[in-house]
Each structure stands twice: as C-alpha cells, then as structure tokens.
Structure 1
Amino acid sequence: MADMVIAGGGPAGRALARACARRGLTTVLVDPAPGRRWRATYGLWADELPSLPESAVACAPSTTLAFGTGPHVLDRQYLVVDNAGLRDWLTGGYDVVAGTVSGVDHGRHGSSVRLEDGRVLAAGLYIDATGARPRGNRYEQTAFGAVLPAEDALRLAGGPDTAVFMDWRGGEGGFLYVLPLGDGTVLVEETSLAGRPGLAIDVLAARLRARLAAAGLTLRGREERVRIVLDVPVPRRGAAVPFGASAGLVHPATGYSVATSVRLADPVADAVARSWERGPAEAASAAHRALWPSSARIVHGLRRHGLRALCGMPPELVPVFFELFFTLPTGLQRAFTSGHDDVSGTAEAMSALFRIAPWRVKKHLIGWHALRRSR
C-alpha cells in the first residue's frame, strides 16, 4: 500500500507528489500520459513563487504592461514558465503509474483506487489533482491564441521584451494577452475574462483574426485553446482531498492557479506528514485545514463575489474597472491577485476600488462593498 496516491500529472499533482515524497511518504502519481508534454503556456508573478529555479523560466520580460483605457507599467516581475524545466523541478522521489482513475472506494484504513484498465491501487490517502471540470452553469474563462514571430507581434503592443498582461483596447468585451516565449516567438491570445458558460472558442478565434487583420497580420503558427473553470467552491472535507484546480485554487477573477498550487504543496504535505500516525481521516482533515484556513475561505468568497460583480457589468465598463485597478498601489494589486489568505489586503483593495470608482461602475460594486464590510 502506498501512503499517497495522487491522480493528475500536471503541475499541481507533481508538486504535491514531490512534497509528500520529501517528507518520507511513499507516493504514487497516476498520470494518463506520463510522457506527454505540457502544452499550455503558464505565466506567473515572480513574487508568487520565489523558489522557482531559473531552469523553469522560459522568459522574464523586462517590462509588463496593462491597458485599461490607457497604458500602465506594472511594478511586478512577470515570468513565462519553461514547462520542461518546471516538470523536471517537480519530478523525483515518487513513482508514476500510467493510467486514469475510474473510481475510488474509501474505508476506515485507506482507499482503493480503481484504474480504467482494471488495476487497483491501495492508498492510505487519495488526492484528486485532475483539474476542475465544467458543471452546470459555472463561470469559465476562455481564450484562443496563436504563436507568432516576435517581429509580427510588435505591431500589436509592447516590444520584443515586453509582456502585455491585459489589453482591453479595441476588444469586444474581451482583452488581448501578449507574451514573449523566450525563443523569438510571442503568444497572442484573445481572452474572455469570464462567462457563464464561457464564450465559444470559435468566437474568440474570429475576434483574434479580426484584431490581427487590423494590424496587417494573419493567423498562423501553433494555436492554443483555453477553458478554465473559475468559480469552484471551497470543497467540503471528505476522505478524498482535492488539490490544485480541483480544490478551487483557480483565482476566480484571473484564472491563475499554477503558482498557488505549487506554493501550497509544501504546507499541505507538512500537515499530512504531521497527522499521518493518526490515520487517513485525520490526514485528510489536516490537508483541508492547510489548504483552506478560515482566512483563505473568506478571501475566496470575496473573490467569487468580485467575479459576479464583474460579470454583471456592461461590457463597456469592464475596461474602466481595470483602468482603476491598475492605478492601485502595487501592494493592493498583489493582495487581490495573489493573496490566497490575505483578508485585510484583499478587503482593502476592494474598498480602494470602490472609493475611486465613478458611479456608473460603483453601482455594480455596491454588493461587493457591502460584503467586504460584513467580513
């Protein structure tokens, strides 16, 4: 019997597998395709994951811009992840089994993890890091992108060493994301911040083609399609422990989760290791408490309320909202986008936005402000 069986071979699952193995827990990672490269483009703020090694960084743009109704230089270092380097960094100390989990039976002394090919793995504790799946009418962020030569992307925004975090100018209720990849190419991505359901990928592809055509460019090169579930609630405690996007670690207002998941792997593994002798149920509870202390639950609730407020605004007001957001002090921007359990910082960022918003925006944030005050 393995101490831990973790389903999901993405960054979240591998980060937690490595952390558990380093604490002496025998760990098995179940990955449907262990040899498959990670195709998604991951970006993060350097201050979110200061332990990230240089080998896991594909590009560190010298400047990061954002455009609401005007340009803003963001005073935070943005990093583009080298997927192979990240995977190498998160590998080691655990066994990898090729397969897909079809079901899990939980008992007093552990779990039986069934794979689609009929194999059964015995585990003291089962972790689900397979990601969040669209269900019902959850909010989603969707995007369509293409990788272009850097000289082409210069016609859109920024420069060869500049990342554009958000560009709300000229969109149809969405924004453009421009990211140098460190190899002479740039990812340009048309993004719908949030919708229920998410905006169709083919609509976003048409918008990107139109945006490129206006700059005298054509769509070519590798394409990227993105669909992220944004509003996963805090999971209830149970015999299985969700982690990563499965656990609601996706930021409801940005769609980011990789840095948070990797950063939280160590405290979760610490909590499990300390409680291991008291049995699987206590280890699962300890993992849940490490992921979701009361402060993190409050922040998650505030962020989800902010998501609903944004989605309730007329499309023409969303760039105005972000124009205001990008004028906030860097510390408040960081608190709202990256503070998993920073209640005071998140609340102050929301309060500051409410104070400076014009009435046409403020009236959509009244519920937001009331919720912040109640916290």
Structure 2
Amino acid sequence: MSTRAFIDVLVLGAGPGALAIAAALGAENLRVEVLAASNHTDPWPYTYGIWGEEVDEMGLQHLLEHRWKNTVSFFGSGASEPKADANKATHHGRDYGLFDKKKLQRYWIKQCDAASVQWHRGYAAELEIDENLCTVTTAEGKKHKARLLIDATGYEPVFLKSRKNWPIAIQTCYGVVGRFNTPPVEEGQFVLMDYRCDHLSSKEKEEPPTFLYAMDLGDGRFFLEETSLGLAPPVTLETLKSRLKQRLAHRKLELTSLEHEELGLYLPMNMPLPDLQQPVLGFGGAAAMVHPASGYMVGGLLRRSPSVAKVLAKAMRDKNASPAALAEKGWAVLWPPDLRRKQALYQFGLEKLMRFEEAQLRDFFKGFFALQSDQWYGFLTNTLSLSELVQAMWTMFVKAPWSVRWGLMGMQGRELYLLWQFLKPLN
C-alpha cells in the first residue's frame, strides 16, 4: 500500500515533550500532525528551571524569565561541625534560570506553524497498527492515520507500554509566590536546596526529609517551595504545606501578600524505561526522560529532539518502512545502551537517597557539591559520558564520610537489579 497520501508522524500530547518533538520533526520537513485532548496553546501549570550554561550553549537565553548568578544551597552543620556553620552557604558558582513558560511554548509553536504542523483536538481512544500505518481513533470517532505514532502524553501515556514493575518514587512540592514582612532570601539570590532543619522536632527529623527551593523574583516578590526529593509513597501535600509554615515561623517570616499558591507537583523520578521493542515511539515524560536524580527534563528535550528527528527523517526515506521499523530507529537514538546504563546508575543512586536519614542526606549533598563543578553540573544535567559519570560517583564515594559510605554500600530493594541493568541494559 502506498503511504504517500498519509502524514509521516502523528504526535499525541500538548505539553513540552509533544511540542519539542513536533517542532524538531517539522524542521526536518516531515509531515506532522498533533492530536491532544487540550489546546496546544493552553497555559502550562508548572515552572521549569534550567542551568544558565545549558541555555547559553543552545543560544536560548532569551527564553528565560529570570536568571540568577548568586546560586547557593544550605545543608546545615554535621554532627562533628560547629553549630556556627549551620547557616553557611554552599556557593555553586553557576547561573540558574527559570523559563518564561509562555515564551518557551511560543518558541516551539512558532517552529511548528512554520513547518505547517496541523493541530487537532480529541481524546485518543483506540490504536491499530499494521505493516503500513498507525490508525488512531478518537473518542469522538475521528480517525488519524500516520506512518509513525509518537506518544508524548506525559507520565501516564495513552498507548505507550513500559515495564512498571516497582513503586514509582514521586517528587512532591508545595509553594507560594508572594511578598513577606522581610526578605526570605538575599536580593538576587537563588537557593537550590535549603536542608536546614532546626525548625523541626527530634521526632520530625526522623520523618522523610524535605528542603526549601527559593528565589528572589525581584520587586519584593519571592517564590518559596517546600520539596521532597523523591519517595515511594510520596510525601503528602499537607505535610509539605505544614513544613513550609514551620520553616517560615521559625525564621519569623510572614507572608503579607499571596500572589500564587502552587498546590503540588507530582513528578515521577524513577519511571521504568518503555518497552523499546514496541511499534510506538515515546518522547518526554512518557518515555522516562525525566532525570531520576534532579527531576529536570526540558534541557534534555531541547538537546535530544533534533537528533531523534534527524534519524526519523532519514528512516522515512524508505517508503516501505513499517511503523515498527521506524519506531525501532527512534528508540535506538533516544535510548542507546550507554544512556540506558546511565539511567540505571541514576536510579540506583535515587534508591540510596530515598533510604537516607536526614543527617545522612545533608552530608551526602555537601559531598556532592564539593565535587568539581563540571562533575556535579554534568551529573545534574545528564551531560557526562558514561565513564565520566562512573568517575564522579566513585570520587563522591571515596570522599564521603563513613555515615554516607555505609548507606551507599548496603544493598536493598531494587539496587542489585539496577546494577545488573548497568552491566546489561534492557532492550
């Protein structure tokens, strides 16, 4: 059957992952359509952070709403350290940025429109795949046919199949944007992590740790967010809200004007890799592209979408290539063996951190940010090579205090399985 009458790719979704891959495919002169339950111009609910160097390398500085040079963290004092060091800042020496969500969205939509990408509204309900085409039928009964389907519908994808064989660690957050009786952070400052816990009782310190993520937005406005790194089951929104109130009260901070309340981000941190043999390709959160150690994804979308699109454009030249053959090419570049091995190491590390007590976790991050700047930066952005990642993790282990080393050496839960995936990654 000739496929010339049908489009090349149908993308499902309207979030960052869907728009990123649709724009990249359009730039390769492929015929692309996007199907989503919501409008592709609807505002995105969450904020997206990124390190300054990442956007600089891609020439996308203009997409930032805020940028900070004064980037710090606070980890409190350890058992063997003087209490005077509790408020000592760890300076990161790297710029951090916050995307202007509207600009980022328009950036991708403009590229899509320039490539004549077509937009459709509807709920994808059924999928049929034969040797030539993918046919998606919406709940409204409309059919969309394409040579390849890309599911970019987020953490609970519509058609994509994954190996869901373990509890998913969820990063949860509760935040506020507003004005305070006194500045909660220094002028022009961004706080990546504030793990100081002097506002908690001894019993509360035995509970899963949380940290403050905070920034000066200018003009007397601040964003403060209480965050759980990742846990299964997750820390509840009520607990985070209570922790933030305690933290503010301890520092005699009062919210005098509430501009916005962020009622919780539930971010899956250790999604299993999709089945890489399936004839549907995934992208974004649906394809487990969230960094298991940091929760970042947008930088990866911007870096990786062009390479996936180029491979697919080349594969599309074979007019007889089946959906399964095209998806295979896409999976090969999206999740090559080295990247799968890195993913296993990141998830191995997250397993460890989820079991760390509050003091261990603070000591761990002190050691982590004592690594060379290029090492911890590359770790958080997933830009280290496999060998560089192994070297960074080994250096961290060697230099860590014994309390952290013992925590890293004990094998529990899925850790042996993940080490095996590092040695022999799944297809």
For normalisation by structure 1, the TM-score amounts to 0.92
Residue of structure 2 in register with 1:297 after alignment: 340
Alignment of 1:123-272 (within 5 A): 123-133=146-156, 137-149=167-179, 154-155=183-184, 157=185, 159-170=186-197, 172=205, 173-181=209-217, 185-218=221-254, 220-224=258-262, 225-237=264-276, 238-272=278-312
Instruction: Give the secondary-structure state (helix, strand or coil) at the position aligned to 2:317.
Output: helix
Distance 2:75 2:169 in 1: 22
Match of 2:98 among 80, 99, 104: 80
Worse-superposed segment, 94-103 or 241-250: 94-103
Distance 1:95 1:139 in 2: 36
CA contact (8 A) 2:378 2:384 kept: no
Alignment of 1:1-375 (within 5 A): 1-34=6-39, 35-49=41-55, 50-69=57-76, 70-91=88-109, 92=112, 93=115, 94-133=117-156, 137-149=167-179, 154-155=183-184, 157=185, 159-170=186-197, 172=205, 173-181=209-217, 185-218=221-254, 220-224=258-262, 225-237=264-276, 238-278=278-318, 279=321, 280-340=323-383, 342-366=385-409, 371=419
CA contact (8 A) 1:58 1:182 kept: no
Instruction: Give the secondary-structure state (helix, strand or coil) at the position aligned to 1:192.
Output: strand
Aligned length: 371
The one-letter code sitting in structure 2 at the alignment partner of 1:144 is Y
Q: CA deviation at 1:28?
A: 1.1
Distance 1:203 1:250 in 2: 24
Superposition CA RMSD, Å? 2.2
Instruction: Give the secondary-structure state (helix, strand or coil) at the position aligned to 2:68.
Output: coil
Q: CA deviation at 1:341?
A: 6.2
- Structure 1: runs of 5 or more not aligned: none
> For residues 275 and 337 of structure 1, do their structure 2 counterparts lie closer, same or farther at Cα, with a shift above 3 Å needed?
same
Q: CA deviation at 1:325?
A: 0.7
Worse-superposed segment, 213-222 or 40-49: 213-222
Worse-superposed segment, 112-121 or 282-291: 112-121
Worse-superposed segment, 38-47 or 180-189: 180-189
Distance 1:48 1:288 in 2: 24
Structure whose CA Rg is larger: 2
> For residues 97 and 82 of structure 1, do their structure 2 counterparts lie closer, same or farther at Cα, with a shift above 3 Å needed?
same
- Structure 2: runs of 5 or more not aligned: 1-5, 77-87, 158-163
Instruction: Give the secondary-structure state (helix, strand or coil) at the position aligned to 2:392.
Output: helix
The C-alpha deviation readout for 1:319-366, integer Å capped at 9, x for no partner, is 111011111111110221112562112111110110011111101112
For normalisation by structure 2, the TM-score amounts to 0.82
CA contact (8 A) 1:168 1:174 kept: yes
> For residues 330 and 309 of structure 1, do their structure 2 counterparts lie closer, same or farther at Cα, with a shift above 3 Å needed?
same
Q: CA deviation at 1:181?
A: 4.0
Worse-superposed segment, 13-22 or 163-172: 163-172
CA contact (8 A) 2:181 2:254 kept: no
The one-letter code sitting in structure 2 at the alignment partner of 1:105 is E
Distance 1:182 1:139 in 2: 34
Distance 1:46 1:116 in 2: 42
> For residues 341 and 271 of structure 1, do their structure 2 counterparts lie closer, same or farther at Cα, with a shift above 3 Å needed?
farther
Instruction: Give the secondary-structure state (helix, strand or coil) at the position aligned to 1:144.
Output: strand
Identity of aligned residues (%): 29
> For residues 286 and 327 of structure 1, do their structure 2 counterparts lie closer, same or farther at Cα, with a shift above 3 Å needed?
same
Distance 1:359 1:140 in 2: 28
CA contact (8 A) 2:8 2:32 kept: yes
Instruction: Give the secondary-structure state (helix, strand or coil) at the position aligned to 1:221.
Output: strand
The C-alpha deviation readout for 1:157-187, integer Å capped at 9, x for no partner, is 3x23111111111265111001344675322
> For residues 271 and 182 of structure 1, do their structure 2 counterparts lie closer, same or farther at Cα, with a shift above 3 Å needed?
farther
> For residues 152 and 294 of structure 1, do their structure 2 counterparts lie closer, same or farther at Cα, with a shift above 3 Å needed?
farther
Instruction: Give the secondary-structure state (helix, strand or coil) at the position aligned to 1:179.
Output: strand
Instruction: Give the secondary-structure state (helix, strand or coil) at the position aligned to 2:58.
Output: coil
The C-alpha deviation readout for 1:91-141, integer Å capped at 9, x for no partner, is 122122122322322221121112232222111111111111397621111
The one-letter code sitting in structure 2 at the alignment partner of 1:234 is L
Distance 1:78 1:309 in 2: 27
Distance 1:85 1:160 in 2: 25
Distance 2:122 2:390 in 1: 43
